[in-house]
Amino acid sequence: MRFKGLAAAALAALPLLAPPAAGQGTQLLYLAEDVPAGLDYDGPAVTVNTSQVGFINMMDTLVDYPIAGENDEGIRRLDFSRFEGRLAESWDYDAATLTWTFRLRQGVKSCAGNTFTADDVIYTLARGKSVSGTAPINWFLGSLASIAGFDRGVFTGGSRELGDAVEKVDDHTIRIRQSASNNLFLTVLTVYSMAPFDSVEMRKNATPEDPWSHTYANTVNAAGFGPYCLERWVKGDEFVLRANPDYYRGRPQIDRVVIKRVPQSANRALTLRSGQAQLTQRLTAREFEQLSRARGVRVAGIFGNETLLMGLNWRTPPFDNPKLRQAIALAMPLQQLSRIGYAGQARPWEAHFTEVLNGYVRPEAQYPQNLDRARQLLAEAGYPGGRGLEAFPDALRLSFTAERESYLGPLATAIQSALRDIGVPIQLDPLPQTQFADRRMVKKDLPMSLSDTEKPVGPDVVYATRLFFVSPQAGGVNNITNYSNPELDRLFGEAQTEPDPARRAPLVNQIQQIVQRDLAWIPLLETRTQWAFSDRLSGLTWHPDNSLRLFELRLAP
């Protein structure tokens, strides 16, 4: 009796403790696995997707891509073959002098109320070339775009001053000179790490030790000309943005966005289902599937640039043997991998590039699972039934990041089992993320690796080629498998400089045929970039950095 009385009293007290109802109308609660750790795109947090969401929505680039309709799930796509102005209104190119002239938009105001001018672009590129940040991404992109002076010389005693590569014609006109003809120039300008800073605000926060305000940008505010301004930021907890009322494309429809860190995907799913949040992502395949049946919730996605691949090191025998590579590709249980890792939502990746990239063609060489053919190729490679492979115990080790063992582990096991079926015995070798990155990126000595982090933010086949397949001697950047083919390097050079799209297309086509024929890596699956969101929310658009533009979202009352 006494217990019942206590319980009744406790229940009666609950309404007193209940918080006020969650925000409605034009407030959006976005549940993420983390909130931005830093806001400087040349800073240490730049590679973290959850950090990119911050500065991407607070800054704007000179150019971007137009919307090109939506897929059958309602996710809008961009047309990567065309560009449209953002902070730049128009531009032209003088091939004789390798010079781009940009006419900048007038009357654009930052969150601090400063007006956008040519000085902001100059400041941004000068800051990039100073390579003073922890991760000099702006310089890196400038070098990909062949901006004059953005070369490796900055690290070997060369000038870190901008010099005459960028010239201010007037307050709203600027010229940027290239060191060589390069078609990737505008593609590079769409990437977040080329977005102009509000130089007035940045200079205000400079110190003698930190003249380029990296600490300010990283820890206090990304001062730019974007649609949202920072209201509140508690690292590791929440990130609150408020609409920039002066945004030049119009005030954002959603006034306030609260990005809340909810590390448990189950809790993100549960809260979205309860109606208290309107948007989330990075759930498990099963959670997405369950949410798709929940009332008031939608799940939609797109095959963008997220993939799963296996790298085989070209410098590590026996993987320098082309027939062995083909045998391995033909043994891959792609449907099984899709079921195990992605609840059947992934699809076999039939190329080294994803379909959305500008210039994509489906290559002729295909490797659907065929164990008989795989065994035959293995024998032709000199290892009938796998005999002889025991000489390479150190090479036959499949590495992946141990932190993601929960889902990469089962995939690796399935690959191990499939390879055993054709007589290729491999061991699994989960490594800590840091060690994995060091060996793959710096030492480049991982013999076999399983990864899903290759997502080119420049949505162009030529851009991705330079990133992943061109040899370092020809300007390759992140060729993780040490793939080297002079013919490919030559085609890349021509494709990068060929101004005529009609003459460029066959070169781009050949590039794709060659890497697929050679198996620069073993493409496995294309995976979906997905979101779960309130059915009142619309306007979700896929961008190559996999971050949503909050400005594009619409929340119905």
Partner 1 sequence: MIGFVSRRLATALVQLVGLALVVFFAIRLLPADPVARLVGLNASRDAYLTAQRSLGLDRPVAEQFGSYLGVLPGSSGLLQGDFGRSWVTGDPVAQEIGRVLPITLELITVSFVLAFLVSVPLGMICAIRPGGAADRATFAYSLFAGSQPEFWWGLLFIFVFFAELGWAPAPLGRLDPMSTPPAVVTGFITVDSLLAGNMAAFRDGVHHLMLPVLTKVFVLSGPIVKMVRQNMVRVMASDYVLFAQASGLTPGRIARIALKNALAPALTLLGVLYGYILGGAVLIETVFSLGGIGSYAVRSVLAFDYPAIQAVVLVIAAVSLLVYLVLDLLHAALDPRLVG
Both structure tokens of 491: 């085609």
Binding string, 230-249, against partner 1, x = CB under 8 A? ----xxxxx-----------
- Coil vs helix vs strand at 216: helix
Q: Which window, 76-84, 157-165, 195-203, 267-275, contacts partner 1 (CB under 8 A)?
A: 267-275
Cβ proximity to partner 1: between 262 and 324 the closer is 262
Cβ proximity to partner 1: between 70 and 438 the closer is 438
Strand 397-401, strand 448-451: pairing = parallel
Cβ proximity to partner 1: between 217 and 507 the closer is 217
> Which residue has 């099984």 as its token pair?
336
Both structure tokens of 367: 């490797």
Binding string, 443-462, against partner 1, x = CB under 8 A? --------x-xx--------
Rg (CA), the chain: 25
Interacting residue with partner 1 among 1, 5, 20, 293 (CB under 8 A): 20
3-state percent helix, strand, coil for the chain, nearest multiple of 5: 35, 20, 45
The greatest distance separating any two alpha carbons of the chain, rounded to the nearest whole angstrom, comes to 93
Measured CA to CA in angstroms, residue 121 lies from 60, 148, 172 at distances of 12, 15, 10
Q: Which window, 118-126, 310-318, 431-439, 514-522, contacts partner 1 (CB under 8 A)?
A: 431-439
The helix/strand count (H/E) of the chain reads as 17, 21
Q: Which window, 191-199, 210-218, 407-415, 531-539, contacts partner 1 (CB under 8 A)?
A: 210-218
- Which residues in 453-512 contact partner 1 (CB under 8 A)? 453-454, 467, 477-478
User: Is residue 356 within 8 Å of 77, Cβ to Cβ?
Assistant: yes
Interacting residue with partner 1 among 126, 137, 415, 448 (CB under 8 A): 137
Cβ proximity to partner 1: between 28 and 166 the closer is 28
Interacting residue with partner 1 among 146, 271, 399, 541 (CB under 8 A): 271
Interacting residue with partner 1 among 204, 434, 486, 506 (CB under 8 A): 434
Residue 4 sits in the site that holds partner 1 (CB under 8 A): no
Interacting residue with partner 1 among 274, 413, 417, 427 (CB under 8 A): 274
- Coil vs helix vs strand at 526: strand
CB of 364 to partner 1, least distance (A): 28
Contact residues for 336 (Cβ-Cβ < 8 A; gap 6+): 414, 418
User: Is residue 338 within 8 Å of 345, Cβ to Cβ?
Assistant: yes
Report the DSSP beta bridge partners of residue 448.
Answer: 312, 398
Report the DSSP beta bridge partners of residue 78.
Answer: 67
Both structure tokens of 320: 């320098």
Strand 397-401, strand 427-431: pairing = parallel
Binding string, 78-97, against partner 1, x = CB under 8 A? --------------------
Residue numbers of the site for partner 1 (CB under 8 A)? Answer: 11, 14, 16-20, 22-23, 27, 29, 31, 37-38, 40, 43-47, 131, 133-137, 140, 152, 154-155, 214-215, 218-219, 234-238, 258, 260-264, 266-267, 270-271, 273-274, 276-277, 403, 432-435, 437-438, 440-442, 451, 453-454, 467, 477-478
